[in-house]
Amino acid sequence: MSRKTSRKAPGGKPVRAAPVRAANVQWGGRFAGGPAEAMERINASIRFDKRMWAQDIAGSLAHAAMLAAQGIVAKADAAAIAGGLDAIARDIAAGNFEFKVAMEDIHMNVEAALAERIGAPAGRLHTARSRNDQVATDMRLWVRDAIDGLDARLSGVQAALLDQAAAHAATVMPGFTHLQTAQPVTFGHHMLAYVEMFGRDRGRLADCRKRGNESPLGAGALAGTSFPIDRAMTAKALGFDRPMANSLDAVSDRDFALEFLAAAAILAVHCSRLAEELVIWSSQPFAFVRLSDAFTTGSSMMPQKRNPDAAELARGKAGRVLGAFTALAVVLKGLPLAYGKDMQEDKEPVFDAADTLDLVLAAMAGMIADLTVDAVAMRRVAEQGFPTATDLADWLVQALGIPFREAHHITGRIVRRAEERGVSLAELPLAEMQAIDQRIDERVHAVLTVEAALASRTSLGGTAPKRVKAAIAAARRRWLGKTKR
């Protein structure tokens, strides 16, 4: 039996082996034959890692300059390499570069193209370098750029939230616990809550960027190199703070990517929570806000519908980002040092999470900037459910010296009386309250309105309008570096 039909399927029919292709020229003399078609497809990453072309070329330019400075390659060869890489970069940017699956990844595509353009000097570029430290460098550079992009997006979301907060610093809305009316707050105060959440997201991303800003370049395959390289030079050229201290760690570490995905997952959750509120608030039973035509859609069957699709998609896409973190954590959890091809699976989750959040944040900024607030509808709900009950209990403590637990009990009885009569606490006659506790006097009415409740919340971080206005100014300075827009 020939080698091509050396095995049989169930039933005895011969099965042909997968075709074997010509040897990959990058591997030199080690392999006589090339990979099977399935191997070529599963092994190649150019479909997705080509987006790292700018980072890959930047790393190669820094490496070539260092090799020349150290006398490892001739300056003329380094100059030819730099010129060839610059030309390749221009072609890729212009869309005039053919990425080849046979070259597997962005690194070999660039190197092969360089050899076609400048000949023998291209073969010197990979001196004292491995694809292992090369890809680790590219990924760190790409994640760093992605963080900078997301930080700018987050700044835009915060700016939109702060504009709404400033416009509605005193606009009454119900504050909820358990999605039940709890205490009155202002819409501006509610917007500021998300400003703080997104601010912490920016802080987490900044921490990730700082921790990951170390250069793997020069670590080689796993053990460093015998060439007299200057790792500090390449690190500085690429904007890293320092070279990584351990060569094994440099090529096998992906916790910078995992940390990025962890921060991204928390950010996605915050986006989803705000999106959920926009969905609720824009529904007819609430009608607190109206989303613009730019971020809503209609129904193919029901002409009256205004669907908050952008908010729903922002809410749904959180699952993708959470899944990206889980995917990479599972890939990494069982890997021994140093490099394994499993690590090729780090890129798609990172790329997808960054792309997803970039789009979601753009939509969130637009929705927030464009929404209109129905202050009448919010106030109507804010006055339901006895929202000033806590203020009554606090007054009993402050004005009459009653212990809070007793004041809580008294207030509960008064609320029940008002509920039985179908009136608000502010509308309940004083005599009705005194029938429950005779110590109550006419001063109590000063604390039972929604406006009084808001104005009294003057503690740091509170919802009193004057506190909200001060918090807006502080947030602009803190997050946007300005006092006004």
Active-site residue, from 45, 215, 226, 299: 299
Which value, to the nearest 10 degrees, does the dihedral of the CA atoms of residues 440, 426, 169, 196 take? 60
CA dist 18 and 64 (Å) reads 40
Catalytic status, residue 190: no
CA distance 473 to 401: 37
Alpha carbon distance 282, 121 (integer Å): 63
Question: How many Cβ atoms from other residues are within 10 Å of residue 335's Cβ?
Answer: 13
Separation between Cα atoms, residue 469 and residue 347, nearest integer Å: 44
Looking at 178, 226, 300, 459, which residue is catalytic?
Answer: 178
Angle value at C-alpha 46, between 42 and 49, nearest 5 degrees: 110
Tokens of 161: 């939230």
| Nearest one of 328, 360, 358, 357 to 344, comparing CA atoms | 328
- Bridge-based pairing state of the strands 214-215 and 242-243: parallel
Distance from CA of residue 127 to its chain's centroid? 37
77: left (phi over 0), alpha (psi -120 to 50) or beta: alpha
Q: Which two tokens stand for residue 103?
A: 């070259």
CA distance 263 to 324: 12
- Give the whole-angstrom CA distance, residue 231 versus residue 217: 7
Q: Is-catalytic flag, 424?
A: no
Using alpha carbons, select from 205, 209, 273, 266 the residue that is nearest to residue 241: 209
Cβ within 8 Å of residue 214, ≥6 positions away:
140, 235, 240, 241, 242, 243, 244
- Close Cβ partners of 448 (under 8 Å, ≥ 6 residues apart): 388, 391, 392, 424, 425, 426
Residues with a catalytic annotation lie at 178, 299
